[in-house]
Amino acid sequence: MLAVALARAAVEAGQRAYYTTAAELAARCHRARVDKPDPLEWIETHPVRSSPFWRTVRLIAEGLEPDLDAPWYARFAWVNLYPAAPENPPGNPGGALKEAQDPHVGRLLRAVTDMLDAKRVIAMVGPFWWPAAGPAGLADLPEHPRPLLRAGRSGGRTWVISWHPNGASHRGVGPRAYADIIVNAVAKAESQNNRELEDAIG
């Protein structure tokens, strides 16, 4: 039902829709990645790498995983909170396309993080966050000063919910400062969790 609703909303919004099975989609993705050991390797040479979003992502990845023997773009997984979005021009979904996804994005986010067995989740989504918060079981995360929205622990993971880096940059918080804020929020949440575990043990 979700696939049908998303495709219908996309068509109504003037976009193209494509139907396929999960097996065929997985096979196509596999074929496309045969010669790509890392699916995000493209970002290293793409002009968009200099955008506030990707500059912030790089600094966060390097700050949270400094000792990994891997390029920065191989230290994380990236997924859009709203998977169906306009193609031409590219951008965030709105209107019927967003409304069709609103009831599902929270559960989808949980399912994806479970599938990846993520240790940390950084959701730089701004106002797009609120439809996802309740269904994702994250509405009770502690509030934080802007540019963060929420941060803490849930389901054995560290979560940081925050503005999109483009929005932060427009408000005078550049990639370096923003990445430091997020890395510090992760460290604080995990330090507090470790203290609580130690107290519980003894």
Residue whose token pair is 């997924």 = 79
Domain boundaries of the chain, sorted by first residue: 2-201
Query: 102-147: per-residue pLDDT in tens?
Result: 999 999 999 999 988 999 999 999 888 888 899 899 999 999 999 9
Cis bond upstream, residue 89 (ω within 30): yes
At 174, list the tokens: 């550049």
pTM of the predicted model as reported, rounded to 2 decimal places: 0.81
Q: How confident is the model at residue 22 (pLDDT cuts 50, 70, 90)?
A: low
Sign of the alpha-carbon dihedral angle for 103, 106, 109, 113: negative
| Amino acid of residue 123 | A
Q: Which of 108, 124, 106 is nearest to 116 (CA)?
A: 108
